[in-house]
């Protein structure tokens, strides 16, 4: 006789939505952050011409009125629509929902979300199974960061101390260690589940965990205020693929972790939010080095200016702080 409780039955809530709403839902959903078992959200085209999209939310256990009301706030266009709520058969619905995901190629990286998909010759192949954390490579923000990091390496930039803030699945930290394999690296997330998932993904992709060159340290942390992050600073490369609001709010603390001449790669913002994000980082002594747009989602590469005024300016050591003219790509 066992005392183990039977797993809760899975339920699905379906609502219509617009394409813009569907794209916005590919980021972290703060509305469900406090739920013990947040739903898995999947969006798809309900009509072949792209005029109607659909949101499917998968819940562990029957969702209550409050959860459904919260879900409807994510798709304002469906305000007057009665959601379709249904119990699902006792199947692995997460795996089933992932079967339509196509691999994503960005720069030299080829990211598969299903283990059975073939690897792509001549590329860095990474396996990030879709599930409970954001950052599978499917969204334009993650793919944009991968392409930006690849381009930075191709022009000869070198980094020795890397931080990935809001890592999600760990993908961007894995990519950075692939490009700069002797770097020290740390990845953080406010969600301990995401940190656990990143550890699992690291093992699945052969990324060694721990301290030291070529290894990835993982920590649960809100923003940049954690001794594990501040103790390893300053960084010559900091990556933050989160949302525009947190990026602006965290600008002072994130920039304080970056050394003079160091690079910051930001994503998770929309085109109309880019100017406000850039302005927030310029106020912290950063300058825009490059911007790359994928659809409505820009990726920003900024550099930290040398200190001026009462602080003595220091010459930027290009080899140590991100630039190494004369070196080609790997």
Highest mean pLDDT among 22-26, 172-176, 190-194, 314-318: 172-176
The partner residues of 308 in beta bridges, in order of sequence, read: none
Grouping H, G, I as helix, E, B as strand and the rest as coil, residue 301 is strand
pTM score of the predicted model: 0.67
- Taking only the tens place, the pLDDT of each residue in 249-287 is 999 999 999 999 999 999 988 889 999 999 999 999 999
Q: Rounded distance, CA 270 to CA 247, Å? A: 12
pLDDT at 24: 76
Binding residues, by number, are: 142, 166, 189, 241
8 Å CB contact between 292 and 286: no
CB count in 10 Å sphere of residue 72: 17
Does 132 have pLDDT greater than 90? no
The band of 95, judged by pLDDT with boundaries at 50, 70 and 90, is: very low
Confidence bin at 94 (pLDDT 50/70/90): very low
Q: What's the confidence (pLDDT) of residue 173?
A: 97
Compare 95 and 201 and report the one with higher pLDDT.
201
Mean per-residue pLDDT of the chain: 82
Most confident of 105-114, 174-183, 295-304: 174-183
- Residue 275 zone, left/alpha/beta (φ > 0; ψ -120 to 50; rest): alpha
Binding residues for S-adenosyl-L-methionine: 142, 166, 189, 241
Q: Output phi, psi for 219, to 5 deg.
A: -150, 145
Strand partners, 188: 165, 219
- Give the H/E segment covering residue 69: helix 65-73
Give me the residue spans of the domains in the chain: 10-98, 104-304
Decide if domain 104-304 falls under CATH 3.20.20.70.
Answer: no
Contact 297, 269 (CB under 8 A): yes
Helix (H, G, I), strand (E, B) or coil at 112: strand
Averaged over 284-299, what is the pLDDT?
Answer: 93
By the 8 A CB rule, do 186 and 229 touch? yes
CATH architecture label of 10-98: 2-Layer Sandwich (3.30)
Please, which pLDDT band fits residue 101 given cuts at 50, 70 and 90? Answer: low
| H or E segment and range at residue 201 | helix 192-204
What pLDDT is attached to residue 161? 98
Q: 270, 322, 261, 286: which is closest to 278 by C-alpha? A: 286
The C-alpha atoms of residue 69 and residue 65 are separated, in whole angstroms, by 6
pLDDT at 176 over 60: yes
pLDDT for the residue numbered 168: 87
Q: ω into residue 234 within 30 of 0, thus cis?
A: yes
**pLDDT digit string (tens) for 50-93?**
568 888 888 888 899 988 998 999 899 998 899 999 987 765 44
């Amino acid at each position: 006789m066992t005392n183990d409780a039977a797993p809760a039955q899975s339920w699905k809530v379906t609502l219509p939505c617009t394409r813009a709403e569907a794209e916005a839902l590919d980021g972290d959903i703060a509305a469900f952050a406090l739920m013990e078992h947040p739903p898995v959200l999947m969006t798809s085209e309900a009509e072949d011409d792209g005029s109607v999209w659909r949101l499917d939310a998968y819940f562990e256990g029957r969702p209550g009125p409050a959860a459904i009301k919260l879900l409807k706030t994510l798709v304002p266009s469906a305000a007057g629509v009665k959601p379709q709520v249904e119990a699902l058969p006792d199947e692995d619905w997460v795996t089933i929902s992932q079967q339509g995901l196509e691999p994503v190629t960005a720069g030299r990286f080829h990211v598969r979300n299903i283990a059975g998909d073939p690897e792509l010759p001549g590329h860095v192949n990474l396996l990030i199974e879709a599930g409970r954390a954001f950052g599978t490579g499917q969204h334009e923000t993650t793919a944009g960061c991968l392409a930006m990091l690849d381009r930075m390496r191709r022009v000869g930039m070198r980094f020795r101390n890397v931080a990935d803030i809001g890592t999600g699945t760990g993908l961007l930290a894995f990519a950075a260690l692939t490009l700069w394999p002797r770097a020290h690296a740390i990845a953080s997330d406010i969600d301990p589940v995401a940190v656990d998932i990143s550890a699992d993904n690291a093992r699945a992709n052969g990324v060694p965990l721990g301290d030291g060159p070529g290894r990835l340290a993982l920590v649960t942390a809100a923003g940049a205020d954690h001794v594990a992050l501040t103790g390893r600073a300053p960084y010559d490369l900091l990556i933050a693929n989160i949302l525009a609001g947190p990026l602006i709010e965290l600008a002072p603390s994130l920039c304080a972790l970056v050394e003079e001449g160091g690079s910051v790669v930001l994503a998770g913002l929309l085109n109309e939010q880019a100017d406000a994000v850039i302005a927030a980082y310029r106020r912290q002594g950063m300058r825009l080095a490059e911007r790359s747009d994928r659809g409505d989602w820009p990726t920003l590469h900024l550099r930290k200016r040398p200190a001026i005024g009462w602080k003595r300016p220091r010459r930027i050591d290009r080899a140590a702080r991100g630039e190494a003219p004369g070196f080609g790509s790997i």
